[in-house]
A and B are shown apart, each in its own frame.
Chain A
Amino acid sequence: MTTRKISFTLNGEHKEFDVLPNERLLSLLRRNGFKGTKYGCLEGACGTCTVILDGKAVNSCLVFAFQVNGRSVQTVESLGIGEKLHEIQEALVSEGAVQCGYCTPGIVLSAKAMFDENPTPTVDEIKVQIDGNLCRCTGYEKILVAIDKVSKSHNQGGK
């Protein structure tokens, strides 16, 4: 199969990649070192590989790489650089919502996409947004509490 060159904005930077016609965005990211996007089911059912594409949380396993040509992709590598965690990460960590942590980057990005549109979602809105991110460790309780905490902090003028 022949490759084709595409270009898109990745975490705010203009990037060019050679992609195969059947390559998924998940595979493109991972083989280029963006390993924060994890592999879970490859069928859009677990949300582990969530990235933000033009402001929306999507499963990167269900997006062909060529489909992001000219668009904007955000991965977990853009959030919480170094010691300073993003507020969503900080809340998940401090509430004990990170157990094995494998689903966590996907949840961070699902929550980020939500907060970018609506800084103060209700508990029910959070549940709907995170419903596509499966977690087998936590029972979701602490994840919900953590994300709700971020929402409440925005409500109190935190952001």
Chain B
Amino acid sequence: MKPVTKMTVVNKPLRKIDSSALSQGKKLYTGDLAPEHSLYVKMLWSPHAHANIKKIDISKAEKMPGVKLVLYHENVPRIPHCTAGQGYPEPSPYDTFMFDKKVRFVGDRVAAVVAETPDQAEEAIKAIEVEYEILKPVFTYDEALADNAPIIHDEPEAFVPIPIPYEPKKNIVAKVGMKAGDFEKGMKEADFTFDELYETPYAQHCPIEGYISWAQIDPYGRIFITTSTQVPFHTRRIVARTLGIPVQKIRVIKPRIGGGFGCKQEMLLEDIVAIAAYRLNKPVLWALTRDEVFRSGRTRHPMRLRIRYGLKKDGTITAIGLDIINNTGAYGGHGLTVMSCAGSKVLPLYHVNNIHFNAISIYTNLPVGGAYRGFGATQAYFPVETMIDVMADKIGMDPMEFRKKNHIRSGEGHPAFEALGEGKPGTPMTIGSCALAECIDKGAKEIDWSKRLPHTEKTSRFRRGIGMSIHMQGSSVPEIDMGSASIKMNDDGSFNLLVGATDLGTGSDTVLAQIAAEELGTTLDKFIVYSSDTDMTPFDVGAYASSTTYLSGEAVRKTAEKVRQQILKVGQEILQKQGFSKKIEELDLHDAHVISLDGSCKVAFGDIANYSLYENNQFQIGAIESHITHKSPPPFTAHFVELEVDIETGHVKVLKYVAAVDCGTAINPQLCEGQTEGGLLNGISYALTEEYRFDEEGKMTNANFMTYNIFSMRDKPEIKTILVPSYEETGPFGAKSVSEVCINGGMPAIANAIYNATGARLKKAPFTQERVWRAIQEVKK
């Protein structure tokens, strides 16, 4: 393998292959591609958090102008399924029906109208008469777990397809836990012990393109679904199950996607457009409004986290206890896995021998938790990385030095890797590449950590503080997730690269083509990339678990390696005819040619393709390969923030944010920076402003961009991204993942910086002006 520095395509900040067309506003997204005469879906959503539907009368709605179809629980298949897009069988309850006779949160499905125009559908929705039997709702962790709590999933059909702890009669979706060493003993050995409660809010991904899908029936009677999804293959499987039809009947096409961040790792609209298109034999389009995206889309699970630590005076951590209650809302699709990751992506970061981890996922009558960038780790890092500062403070050690003393390093393993999997044990792993120490040093230098003063030395109204946090994540779900690719060579030496992998705006089509181009000794512009079409491309689990570069990227590299061998062989044959007798080992691919290493002869890819297609011993140069991973190598990052707190008002202004990232080899450094910057700003926004607010009936009261505030350009601090290279032996050209890890820093790094500015500790997020002000008042007492 040649060193990264000698590579010509990999590790280069090449232009994202779709970006020119996207900047021109070309017709590339789901909504742009819908047929003009599509019918429109509107949903009647539940106004109640918990109710039985006693009666629905659709007769008036059916007669309204333009109405073609009304769907509700009495006229669709009743098949329990799980909407979360995961490997099959899922470690999740099948607790969802296309429509049910019970509603479980404000925003749950009641009935759908399909009409000629959206306005007609909207009018018809108002004409549906529903009689509800209101049930007592469950909103809080304590209400859900109380004796005699209302049972949210009392339907007999709900089940789990693999044996995981599922106790719907107790509102328990899943339990995950692990022990290592002796936690109690570790606490007893400590000089200091800590026991604190932290809480994180509901949040939404807010992709600028919301949920949207459309379906049409092809001339042979199959259902073609075009949809904004991160998981086309899972969606095909889940829609087939939900409709009770074979997978073969369905084609799912993912065009360009306007962002996902996890919320589109879900089958959310596709069953409705599919069944409506099938019944009406017409194209049917459904796009959620922003209000609907907030209320009925997927969210980041809120968690209540109890954290306990034992600490010695010398800075040795003797025990960690993490007890999590995870609110998965009305349906439990990601209820188990998100807790596993809260443990497996967080606990290994520090050396601690005595570990207690116990997580429980509960149903409530609130919006549904889903996959969200960071996936449980983001929530767990808030208490863990805040407490690291608290502990360092207790023993008078610099929190950066405390982290350096205790963090995981290359060659080390952790019991959590083995204990915590996806509904089964995980995969044992030792850390390969790890440049975390260098990330800390470089980040500290950039933020000028040495100028950081303790809060006790600050007296002015506007107080500056510096905080930090460190993080790891994973790269793919080992032994479960699979990605595959196919490559074929065309007449002119260009290549088709077909991947199941799903580019949802990340640039993965570009990254995967860079990997193929590097392996094949040609340039990025020679690749025609087509991704995520269940009829055309090979399988891939989709875009989640930080898997695309590491998992699908290696599938692409292996495919290219096979094609490389074929090209070399044909090249050898041509050169032989030209009088150059060379062994394969004496040849290489370079600059779109087969070249001899001694420089004596070469043949161009175009000639090789023509020869193989038209001249002699004809065959299609091409290959298909698959890849699964045996480990999930963590990317690492160190985050540093400088901010200013107005202690009179509690207002926090983030001034500068530094992220030093070890993602292995950055296949495309510019895109890695982009992933980092987008992730970290989302993390800052989550820390400071983003939360769902609910009224007493469980209805979200801020379901719009005016009152659910995501950061805009003026909110953005100065951002500095530092890519710190390492080489992950198991990844394509040394690469690991990058997308998720950088969302984890905002909450703890900012909490630590607020403390450094004011002496106030924030344990409940987001850190709104009011919460910060109140915390400052507590310190003043």
Q: What residues of chain A have their CB less than 8 Å away from a CB belonging to chain B? A: 30-31, 35-43, 45-46, 48, 75-77, 79-80, 83, 85, 89, 92-105, 108, 127-128, 130-144
Contact = CB atoms under 8 A, between A and B. Distances in A.
A102 B259 contact: yes
A27 to B, nearest CB: 9
Given A96-B671, A102-B259, A141-B716, A38 B25 contact: yes
9 contacts: A92-B23, A93-B16, A99-B507, A101-B22, A101-B23, A136-B678, A137-B505, A140-B712, A143-B713
B290 A100 contact: no
A92 to B, nearest CB: 6
Contacts of A98: 16, 19, 22-23
Q: Lowest 3 CB-CB distances: which A-B pairs, in order?
A: A36-B25, A100-B505, A101-B22
B208 A135 contact: yes
Contacts of A96: 13, 16, 670-671, 673-674
B24 A85 contact: yes
B128 to A, nearest CB: 22
B674 A134 contact: no
Given A43-B290, A140-B711, A141-B681, 9 more contacts: A38-B25, A39-B209, A40-B290, A46-B208, A76-B25, A97-B674, A99-B507, A127-B713, A141-B716
B610 interface: no
A100 B20 contact: no
A101 B503 CA distance: 12
Contacts of B679: 139
A108 B24 CA distance: 9
Given A79-B24, A101-B505, A102-B259, A136 B206 contact: yes
Secondary structure of the A side of the interface? loop
B678 A99 contact: yes
B528 interface: no
Contact of B678 (A77, A89, A128, A137): A137
Interface of B: 13, 15-16, 18-20, 22-29, 31-32, 36, 205-210, 256-259, 261, 287, 289-290, 504-507, 670-671, 673-674, 676-682, 704-706, 710-714, 716, 719, 721
**Most chain B CB within a 10 A radius of its CB, from A41, A80, A108:** A41
A69 B711 CA distance: 35
Nearest to A97: B674
Contacts of B704: 41, 43, 45
A144 B505 contact: no
Contacts of A39: 31, 209, 287
B5 to A, nearest CB: 21
Nearest to A76: B25
Q: Decide if the interface of chain B is mainly helix, strand, loop or mixed.
A: loop
B308 to A, nearest CB: 35
A48 B20 contact: no
A100 B207 contact: yes
Chain B CB within 10 Å, residue with most, of A79, A80, A83, A93 = A93
Contact of B716 (A48, A76, A103, A144): A144
A119 to B, nearest CB: 20
A83 B26 CA distance: 12
A37 B721 CA distance: 32
Contact of A93 (B20, B27, B671, B681): B20
A139 B290 contact: no
Given A42-B290, A93-B15, A101-B256, A139 B681 contact: yes
B257 A35 contact: no
Contacts of A128: 714
Nearest to B261: A136
A99 B671 CA distance: 8
B15 A131 contact: no
A32 B16 CA distance: 29
A132 B492 CA distance: 46
A131 to B, nearest CB: 5
Contacts of B209: 38-40, 100, 102
Given A43-B704, A75-B25, A131-B712, A99 B505 contact: yes
A41 B25 contact: no
Nearest to A109: B25
B22 A104 contact: yes
B158 to A, nearest CB: 34
A93 B678 contact: no
A92 B289 CA distance: 28
B208 A48 contact: yes
Nearest to B684: A139
Contact of A140 (B31, B673, B681): B681
Contact of B674 (A105, A131, A142): A142
Contacts of A105: 23-25
A128 B714 CA distance: 7
A134 B25 contact: no
Contacts of A80: 20, 23-24
Given A35-B32, A38-B258, A138-B678, A93 B705 contact: no
Contacts of A142: 673-674, 677
A117 to B, nearest CB: 18
A36 B256 CA distance: 13
A35 B25 CA distance: 7
Contact of A136 (B20, B26, B208): B208
Contacts of A89: 20, 23-24
Contacts of A31: 36
B712 A35 contact: no
Contacts of B507: 99
Contacts of B705: 41, 43, 45-46, 134
Contacts of B719: 139, 141
Given A40-B208, A136-B206, A136-B261, A99 B674 contact: yes
Nearest to A129: B713
A38 B713 CA distance: 19
A71 B207 CA distance: 32
Nearest to A142: B674
Contact of B208 (A37, A42, A85, A103): A103
Nearest to A124: B714
Contacts of B23: 80, 85, 89, 92-93, 98, 101, 104-105, 108
Nearest to B682: A136
